[in-house]
Chain A
Amino acid sequence: MSEQQHTPGGAESSEGLFSLVYDELYGLAKRSMNGQSPGHTLQPTALVNEAYLKVLKSGNSQWSNREHFLNFAAKAMRHVLVDHARKKDAVKRRSSGERVALDQVVQEFEKRSGNLLALDAGLEALANRDPQLVTIVELHFFGGCSFEETASALGMKTKEVKSGWVFARSWLNNHLKSELGHKIHPNP
């Protein structure tokens, strides 16, 4: 990643920043979905933006670069959601307000992606072949970034991002289908 200079502490520090973003997003997602009317649409970009503002306010100078932040935020979004989906799968859900709120977020995403755990596994498989495509999917799908934002976050041309996206989407679609043997996402 070209923005390595923002994380002078290396991997450990990146790890730390990641969990910071993760916690922030997790909390935001839960809060933002609470009290919203059913059928309301999730706004991942709004979440990410809000998280960014909070982190900025906290005075953490390492986040001065928004593009850099987006990379982490999108990854964090992915992990928040997949984590939650996994817990939902593993444990019988207790009736907790927070849980239910995040369930809604997962549900919103799964409308577009099918089972998030399957998508996560698909992304892992894709990462073995082409990690950059995974980052594009994270930014565009989980982070809700436009192609332009994604391109600037990755230092790529918009056109490259778009074609990478089309490929990644088809590849994943195909991968998930062949993994599950059937189409896991609903027909439009």
Chain B
Amino acid sequence: MDSSRWTETRRIHGAALDLPIDERESFLRLECGGDLALYNEIKSILDAESPDEFLQSPPVIEAVHLGDFDLMAEIGSGSTGIVYRAWQHSLSREVALKLLPRHFADNKERVARFQREARAAGKLRHPGIASIFGVSCEGTSHFFTMELIDGVDLAAELSAIRKGEPNSLPEANSFAYFDYIAKLIKGCADALSFAHGIGVVHRDVKPHNIMIDGNGLPHLVDFGLAKDVALGSITITDRVEGTPYYMSPEQARASQGGVGPSTDVYSLGAVLYELLTLARPYEGRTAKEVIDKILIRDPKPVLASNKAVPKDLALICGKAMERLPEFRYESMLAFEEDLQRFLDRGPILAAPPSMRRRALRFCKAQRLPVSVAAVGMFIAVSANVAAKWQATSHFVSVHIQATLADERVAVVGEGWAYPLNTDGFPTEAEPVSLGKNPFNFELPPGTWKCWFQAEGGQVSELFLVLPSGSEPLSLTTILRPTEEARRGMVLVDAGGWDANGSCPFLAIGSEIPPFWADRFEVTVDQYREFCEATGHRTPVFWGEVDLGLLPGDYPATGMTIEDAKAYASWKGKRLLSHAEFDYLLHGKMGSPYCWGDEEPTIEHRGDVLRSVDAGETLEERFLGFLKHVRPVGTFPLGATPDGLLDIGGNVSEYLGTPAFWGIGDTRLTQDTKVLEIHSSYLEIRERVDGRYAHIAHSTGSFLHIGFRCAQTDSH
């Protein structure tokens, strides 16, 4: 490697490190230009920055005597320091002494954190929490002393169980084992509930920090990351750090202020998960990989990993580990009480998630994320629809009321449901008649394209994505004359094309029937008209920026996928299917780009990527958006052969059917996850067999994701 290249590597690496984790990727892409080798080199170095102890200097202590204490042996290490067994001369007793490594002694953040730990833990007097005796400093050595728990930590016990070595727990998978771990976790919950009661959140609950004493009782240690609400927070506290395996999604996202008591509920749930399955909820080669998984995937269901687990205990674990805090136990106490109900063999509170909750989880409109992370082919992952996709015989009840746009009254008409495969290709199966308006019907789980026609010829179309076990669904749809609906649309004749061999991510499908698609992405003006006509909520950011700056011919962004679907439905249309979108991206011949083989330039696709990195605040990002996004149709060079614009450029787009995309380059199988939305490729450097995969971390709203509508030509 020549020296200028090395300098460049170091410069970009250093600059990326200064950014929050979820912004590094896009920065890196931007900085590396099209230089894939450079990108790969820096990315692998960034990924290797794990929070473990690799090359961290051995702790340095000036003396084995620290004031009143003799250090005897190192017994462990926590997030903030090394723990020694020590002898206290004045009181003739053994204590645990935690020493801040000397190389942190002049690091103000570390010292502050160390003292915060002592203060936070010092407030806690509970049999399940190791008591703090005192805080002190000798020379440059900061340390505090605490109750010495004679025992082993749960991480060591777990490791022994896994290896079949002797341990203090009852035999794995026996009744006694499950009862014991329910008691153990309940003991931890009791201690944490106490801590929460006086305003201390542990934030680093993991097996390593749970000591088991000679009586088999748990004691929480290491409040090194604790947040004391009364003491306020220090900037470092909101940064992602520590062992990531037990981190809650909100912690992994490092969301400011979003980390409260429920983060401990999640992490304790993750510990329970490991005790039940003997596997961590998420594994990965690097911290980043683990964090990515926490952000976008659900862990393998407990019962799928270990059938021996009592169902109620698995449900309790699932509820504690819900991805959204509001679906977890409302408090540590509630978690504790449910464990007690399990131990009493009574009915527990935790229940399999209902459809309404899944739907909420699915489309919960979040505020614009702190940083808009991923670029490229966006796939936001539906939280939990996952395992529910395995074919089951449970039909889903659907109620659909069809009305005409101009009259807003129910009309006589017919409806059909066409079964699609998971990528939105038609399947061989026969369409199902839905009866008459209002339509009440039941469908097997899966993806369906529903088509409605009134006697006057008005039509509407929508995708139904039905996970098995869905609760009854109730919708309205608006029928419009086709000539009205197809204004501004282009007919795409995809006949003869199937994805076989074209895209490694698409299931092999049959031909796509001819369809109409909006020539441009839906604009701000169009979306505003919809909101005004229907009272539908406007994108959150509209209320927070100077809307006078936002041109009406910009693509509308900042809405959730549900908002996009609502708009399409109001127009009597639907979003594009994954299959259609892929066809538009690559054409019959499977070209690398939607305009053909020519390498992309800004003239083809714009430079929206820059807006993604425009800043920390909404205002800054909005200004970046204004600067780098262009009015629809600005990039004629990027047109598809059918004349559609911005399919591969300007903002990304939501799609209407789920897609089974790989995390990285591994394809997901049907029983792992359903991914709900994704969009056009902004970023075309990371080629995966000619396709570009990327993952967005949330089903929230994004400044750089818009949408366009589509409609099948004829049925």
Verify if B412 is at the interface (C-beta below 8 Å from A): no
Contact for B49 among A114, A166, A178, A183, CB less than 8 A: A166
Q: Are B44 and A174 in contact (CB under 8 A)?
A: yes
Chain A residues with CB under 8 Å of B56's CB are 112
Verify if B6 is at the interface (C-beta below 8 Å from A): yes
Chain A residues with CB under 8 Å of B14's CB are 163, 166-167
**Which of A23-31, A62-70, A95-103, A136-144 is the interface stretch?**
A136-144
Report which residue of B46, B47, B55 has the largest number of chain A beta carbons within 10 angstroms of its beta carbon: B55
Complex alpha-carbon distance, A36 and B53, angstroms: 24
Query: Given that A109-B58, A144-B58, A188-B53 are contacting pairs, would A41 and B82 also be in contact in the complex, using a CB cutoff of 8 Å?
Result: yes
Closest chain A CB from B439 CB (angstroms): 55
**Within residues 5 to 64 of chain B, which ones have a CB less than 8 A from any CB in chain A?**
6, 10, 13-14, 17, 44-62, 64
Verify if A54 is at the interface (C-beta below 8 Å from B): no
Q: Are A141 and B61 in contact (CB under 8 A)?
A: no
Q: Are A113 and B1 in contact (CB under 8 A)?
A: no
Complex alpha-carbon distance, A42 and B55, angstroms: 14
- Determine the residue in chain B with the shortest Cβ distance to A147: B103
Closest chain A CB from B148 CB (angstroms): 15
Query: Given that A39-B73, A40-B73, A146-B103 are contacting pairs, would A108 and B48 also be in contact in the complex, using a CB cutoff of 8 Å?
Result: no
Q: Are A188 and B243 in contact (CB under 8 A)?
A: yes
Q: Are A170 and B45 in contact (CB under 8 A)?
A: yes
**Within residues 88 to 137 of chain A, which ones have a CB less than 8 A from any CB in chain B?**
108-109, 111-114, 119, 129-130, 137
Q: Are A170 and B57 in contact (CB under 8 A)?
A: no
- Determine the residue in chain B with the shortest Cβ distance to A171: B45
**Within residues 477 to 497 of chain B, which ones have a CB less than 8 A from any CB in chain A?**
none
Query: Given that A166-B17, A167-B13 are contacting pairs, would A41 and B61 also be in contact in the complex, using a CB cutoff of 8 Å?
Result: yes
Chain B residues with CB under 8 Å of A177's CB are 48, 285
- Determine the residue in chain A with the shortest Cβ distance to B105: A146
Verify if B360 is at the interface (C-beta below 8 Å from A): no
Q: Are A112 and B54 in contact (CB under 8 A)?
A: yes
Verify if A152 is at the interface (C-beta below 8 Å from B): no
Size range of the interface on A? 35 or more
Chain B residues with CB under 8 Å of A83's CB are none
Verify if B598 is at the interface (C-beta below 8 Å from A): no
Verify if B406 is at the interface (C-beta below 8 Å from A): no
Complex alpha-carbon distance, A56 and B61, angstroms: 23
Q: Are B58 and A37 in contact (CB under 8 A)?
A: no
Q: Are A112 and B58 in contact (CB under 8 A)?
A: yes
Q: Are A141 and B102 in contact (CB under 8 A)?
A: no
Verify if B106 is at the interface (C-beta below 8 Å from A): yes
- Determine the residue in chain B with the shortest Cβ distance to A133: B10
Q: Are A39 and B74 in contact (CB under 8 A)?
A: yes
Verify if B688 is at the interface (C-beta below 8 Å from A): no
Q: Are B6 and A137 in contact (CB under 8 A)?
A: no
Complex alpha-carbon distance, A180 and B544, angstroms: 51
Chain B residues with CB under 8 Å of A43's CB are 58, 60-61
Q: Are B49 and A170 in contact (CB under 8 A)?
A: yes
**Within residues 1 to 57 of chain A, which ones have a CB less than 8 A from any CB in chain B?**
37-46
Q: Are A174 and B61 in contact (CB under 8 A)?
A: no
Query: Given that A39-B74, A46-B60 are contacting pairs, would A146 and B102 also be in contact in the complex, using a CB cutoff of 8 Å?
Result: yes
- Determine the residue in chain A with the shortest Cβ distance to B107: A147
Query: Given that A40-B73, A147-B103, A167-B14 are contacting pairs, would A174 and B57 also be in contact in the complex, using a CB cutoff of 8 Å?
Result: no
Complex alpha-carbon distance, A42 and B106, angstroms: 20
Q: Are A178 and B44 in contact (CB under 8 A)?
A: yes
Report which residue of A42, A45, A137, A140 has the largest number of chain B beta carbons within 10 angstroms of its beta carbon: A45
Verify if B72 is at the interface (C-beta below 8 Å from A): yes
Chain A residues with CB under 8 Å of B61's CB are 41, 43
Complex alpha-carbon distance, A173 and B60, angstroms: 23
Q: Are B1 and A170 in contact (CB under 8 A)?
A: no
Query: Given that A146-B106, A170-B46 are contacting pairs, would A44 and B54 also be in contact in the complex, using a CB cutoff of 8 Å?
Result: no
Query: Given that A37-B72, A45-B60, A178-B44 are contacting pairs, would A114 and B103 also be in contact in the complex, using a CB cutoff of 8 Å?
Result: no
Complex alpha-carbon distance, A41 and B85, angstroms: 12
Report which residue of B45, B47, B59, B285 has the largest number of chain A beta carbons within 10 angstroms of its beta carbon: B45
Complex alpha-carbon distance, A137 and B54, angstroms: 12
Contact for B74 among A40, A114, A166, A170, CB less than 8 A: A40
Complex alpha-carbon distance, A136 and B516, angstroms: 62
Q: Are A108 and B58 in contact (CB under 8 A)?
A: yes
Query: Given that A40-B64, A167-B14, A170-B45 are contacting pairs, would A187 and B74 also be in contact in the complex, using a CB cutoff of 8 Å?
Result: no
Chain A residues with CB under 8 Å of B64's CB are 40
Chain B residues with CB under 8 Å of A166's CB are 14, 17, 49
Verify if A172 is at the interface (C-beta below 8 Å from B): yes
Query: Given that A146-B102, A147-B103 are contacting pairs, would A169 and B6 also be in contact in the complex, using a CB cutoff of 8 Å?
Result: no
Contacts A171-B45, A174-B45, A174-B48 aside, 13 further interface pairs with beta carbons under 8 A come to: A37-B72, A109-B58, A112-B55, A112-B57, A114-B54, A137-B55, A144-B60, A146-B106, A167-B13, A173-B49, A185-B54, A188-B52, A188-B77
28 A–B pairs (Cβ distance < 8 Å), ordered by A? A39-B72, A40-B73, A41-B61, A43-B61, A45-B60, A46-B60, A46-B62, A108-B58, A112-B54, A113-B54, A129-B6, A130-B10, A141-B57, A144-B60, A163-B14, A167-B13, A169-B55, A170-B13, A170-B48, A170-B49, A172-B54, A173-B49, A173-B55, A174-B45, A188-B52, A188-B53, A188-B77, A188-B208
Give me the interface of A with B, judged by CB distance under 8 Å. 37-46, 108-109, 111-114, 119, 129-130, 137, 140-141, 144, 146-148, 163, 166-167, 169-174, 177-178, 183, 185, 187-188
- Complex A-B, nearest 4 residue pairs according to Cβ-Cβ distance, in ascending order: A174-B48, A39-B73, A173-B48, A170-B49
